[in-house]
Chains A and B, each alone.
Chain A
Amino acid sequence: MSASAVIFYILSFFILATGLLAVTSRKIFRSAIWLLFSLTGIAGLYFWLQMEFIAAVQVVVYVGGIVVLIIFSIFLTQQSGRDLPAPVRSRAIFSVLAVCTGFVLTCVLLRGYAFGRTGRTDGGQTFAGPVASGVPAVDASVGTIGAQMLSTSEHGYVLPFEVISILLLAAMIGCIVIAMKIKPDEK
């Protein structure tokens, strides 16, 4: 059990625990804060996976943008004072049942699937290292990502990039239109 494994387990425990608290907390503000912690934990997980750029984006967009947005909307709808009602008993039970069933099903499927393992005959769980095909790992740095994103070659992502920008524009306009308060003229 190396240090990185330990870190991973601590991180994943943190993520899951705060996520659970986020969905079961009775006070809405605390729920938002637990969500914040969970998203920060996920960013930590990205750091552990040596994807620093993704981790940074996660923190900037999710934690700094979306959670703040959620907190603002909590204020705007004046919800922060009251307790949230507990869910209906039957619905809670059925949800737990459904969710546990789904989880068990997915885990069973996971165990049976060999994710790209070649030539290994032990069939065990441990997975050692990247695919042994001799291809060197690419360096996931900002420069590489940016170059590939804006390239027009075979593996370039410039088209989805442009589409995303249009989507963001549309979303922006849409939000403004939906949330706009039309004031009646008072003159």
Chain B
Amino acid sequence: MPNHAYIALIPLLPLAAFVVLGLFGRKYLRGLSGGIGTFAVLVSTGLSLWVAYRYFFVEGAVTGAYNPVIALKATWLSFSPGLSIDMSIILDPISVMMIVVVSFVSLMVHIFSLGYMKGEARYGTYYAFLGLFTFSMLGLVLSGNIFEIYIFWELVGCSSYLLIGYYFDRPSAVAAAKKAFIVTRLADLGFLVGILILSFHAETLDFGTLIQRLSGPTPQMVGITTASFLGISALSWGLFLVFVGGAGKSALFPLHIWLPDAMEGPTPVSALIHAATMVVAGVYLVARLYPVYMFPGGAVLHVVLYAGALSALLAAIIACTQTDIKRVLAYSTMSQIGYMMLALGTLHYKGEATTLGFTASMFHLFTHAFFKALLFLCAGVIIHRVHSNEMRDVGGLRKLLPLTHICFLIACLAIAGIPPFSGFFSKEDILLSAWHADKLVYGVALFTSGLTAFYMFRLYFSIFWRKPMLVGGGVHSGDAGAGPLRDAGDAHGEAPFTMKLPLVILALGALLAGFVPFSRLVTYDGTPQPDHSIGFFAVAPVALALIGIFIARYLYFKESDRPGRVAAGLGDLYKTAYHKFYIDEVYLFVTKKIIFNLIGRPAAWIDRNIVDGLMNLLATVTARISAAIKGLQSGRVQDYALYFFAGIAGLTVLFIYLYT
């Protein structure tokens, strides 16, 4: 591609939309904001697809391998000739894939929001924030410099905060936004320290150079592995801390507490940020630095593996007990991200040149974006119609929302891993690489995939089947528990066209994305790998998934007390899972009792009394001195006479005794 300047437009167009809508969207462009934002992202998507086409099929076909291409580079801060912060755009298989995913999903969300957020008071602001987020995410995936990615990382966190707290008059939304920001910020501290360690030893901030220096026997590698702290080499510390930063953003255990609460934001925001794009930033980061993680002797991939597996299992267990639709989907996201991390961590034991785990992880990221966004948008339609998030309030929506029903079913089948939907292919790859890596992890992943099928279909049956059918505007007689739908007028049908179109497109994606020959396009070093067949290996996971689906149908197809009996039977285990394993309570205890009381209050006291007190003291002293000096000009003639006389006496003494 001779002229790469147009690639910079991909993130900059949404930024321009943000600036325009941020400045003028509130007062002048209210109605047009949606159109402006959507148009900007539409052009970005077109450009991303064009770049992908050219990268994978035009250029790649020439050289036979997909090499990283530095598209643009601008030196920003130069500390020394070798060390500088550049703003550069890097194109390699994962970044091209990511810009396609991000811009496409963002476009779908923009279109969906045209219908969903219609009539909102702060419509323009919403689209401005969406534009900011899209810009930040696109910038993140295109970053070629580790500091640049940090900058965009923080911007993404900021956009997430703004969007979660969009309904700022709700205290729960404000608290959720703060929680998300603080937890991810804390993790970013680790990220920053990791950046500093790695770049200090590698003496560079540029990704390409860093990877090259730290993934082979180079002098920098020797330096970083000999330097050690508490017995662990600096390389492991750096990689581990970078992983911590990624874990915060990707909601891995134990930094996952913000993700369920982040569902306070509008549903399209959840679809975009907390399902398809921002939460995979951590996975992307580890993938970006994968050659460094891979280097033999790096034990950090152990941590990645187990953290991913634990998160996947934990989230799946909790999701089985939750009753809020969006929270179930949030935990499902956490579980799927656990799968992605798990796949990245499966290198260590395999030790072969073909790193299946990397490809599997990226493939799952790709397909997950489609079906998870689809799930959230369907949930958005349902919530828009029913005006409630709780599973208790819905039921029997099959005929009322037919298109949503079909799309939701497709997405559930995809996430459960039923062939030929897309999730089947990506999940099989993950399980295959886990099988070769660690049998225990394979077992956990297998069990979790069964649980995934169970809780997703629990959700599906509860929403669309459990209660007698509702047909537009009324309920059949004999059913008293229709809840809020009784009054939902049917004047506008299921949903406006702008809300139905993305559902259809994403459903097509969820169906077809599995057939993309991923291993030929995206691998850790760019060389295409041959397709592999899965064959009989797939029997066990699919069987487990079908068992999960049937259990869900047994329990939830009709309203009954069977779920209640099962829950009672499980007793305390159920209660612990329902309360999300009390992790939130632990965090609250630490922050409220320990940090606030032992650190916060004394700090506030010092600030008020000592720091402020010092300033007040200065002011008071000045005021008193000035009042005293003011008294010299009293206006009383006798005081002045006294001053005269004192002056004369003084001058007399001076002239007589000191000048002779």
Contact = CB atoms under 8 A, between A and B. Distances in A.
Contact of A102 (B638, B649, B656): B649
B554 interface: no
A113 to B, nearest CB: 11
A105 interface: yes
A98 B646 contact: yes
Nearest to B638: A91
A95 B642 contact: yes
Contact of A101 (B639, B649, B656): B649
B200 interface: no
Nearest to B652: A105
B582 interface: no
A109 B656 contact: yes
B318 to A, nearest CB: 79
A89 to B, nearest CB: 14
Contacts, number: 16
Given A91-B638, A91-B639, A91-B642, A98 B656 contact: no
Contacts of B649: 98, 101-102, 105
Contacts of A94: 642
B645 A102 contact: yes
Contacts of A102: 645, 649
Nearest to B645: A98
Contacts of B652: 105
B653 interface: yes
Interface string B342-384: 0000000000000000000000000000000000000000000
Interface string A89-104: 0010011001001100
Nearest to A99: B645
Contacts of B646: 98
Interface string A63-103: 00000000000000000000000000001001100100110
Contacts of A98: 642, 645-646, 649
A178 to B, nearest CB: 19
Contacts of B638: 91
A98 to B, nearest CB: 6
A95 B642 CA distance: 7
A95 B645 CA distance: 10
Interface string B279-299: 000000000000000000000
| A-side interface size class | under 10
| B-side interface size class | under 10
Nearest to A109: B656
A8 to B, nearest CB: 29
Nearest to B650: A101
A160 B645 CA distance: 31
Interface string B128-154: 000000000000000000000000000
Nearest to B653: A105
Interface string B637-660: 011001001100100110010000
Interface in B585-643: 638-639, 642
B636 to A, nearest CB: 9
Contacts of B642: 91, 94-95, 98
Interface in B261-275: none
A109 B656 CA distance: 10
Interface in A159-177: none
A101 B646 CA distance: 9
A105 B645 CA distance: 13
A79 to B, nearest CB: 18
Interface string A105-122: 100010000000000000
Contacts of A95: 642
A98 B639 CA distance: 12
A125 B84 CA distance: 93
A102 B641 CA distance: 14
A105 B649 CA distance: 8
B644 to A, nearest CB: 10
A11 B56 CA distance: 127
A91 B631 CA distance: 13
A91 B649 CA distance: 17
A16 B639 CA distance: 25
Nearest to B648: A102
A105 B642 CA distance: 17
A15 B395 CA distance: 119
B632 to A, nearest CB: 12
Contacts of A105: 649, 652-653
A102 B645 CA distance: 9
Contacts of A109: 656
Nearest to B646: A98
Contacts of B656: 109
Contacts of B639: 91
A120 B616 CA distance: 70
A94 B639 CA distance: 10
B638 to A, nearest CB: 7
A91 to B, nearest CB: 7
Interface in B85-103: none
B262 to A, nearest CB: 71
A94 B649 CA distance: 13
Interface string B189-215: 000000000000000000000000000
A98 B653 CA distance: 13
A102 B646 CA distance: 9
A109 B655 CA distance: 13
A91 B652 CA distance: 22
A105 to B, nearest CB: 6
Interface in B452-498: none
B645 to A, nearest CB: 6
Interface string B290-334: 000000000000000000000000000000000000000000000
A91 B645 CA distance: 13
A91 B640 CA distance: 11
B641 to A, nearest CB: 9
A138 B642 CA distance: 42
A105 B652 CA distance: 9
A105 B653 CA distance: 8
B655 to A, nearest CB: 12
A94 B638 CA distance: 12
B283 to A, nearest CB: 81
A32 B559 CA distance: 116
A76 to B, nearest CB: 22
Nearest to A97: B646
A88 to B, nearest CB: 9
A29 B656 CA distance: 42
B643 to A, nearest CB: 10
A94 to B, nearest CB: 6
A181 to B, nearest CB: 26
16 contacts: A91-B638, A91-B639, A91-B642, A94-B642, A95-B642, A98-B642, A98-B645, A98-B646, A98-B649, A101-B649, A102-B645, A102-B649, A105-B649, A105-B652, A105-B653, A109-B656
Interface of B: 638-639, 642, 645-646, 649, 652-653, 656
The 10 closest A-B pairs by CB, nearest first: A102-B649, A98-B646, A98-B645, A101-B649, A94-B642, A98-B642, A95-B642, A105-B649, A105-B653, A105-B652
Given A95-B642, A98-B646, A102-B645, 13 more contacts: A91-B638, A91-B639, A91-B642, A94-B642, A98-B642, A98-B645, A98-B649, A101-B649, A102-B649, A105-B649, A105-B652, A105-B653, A109-B656
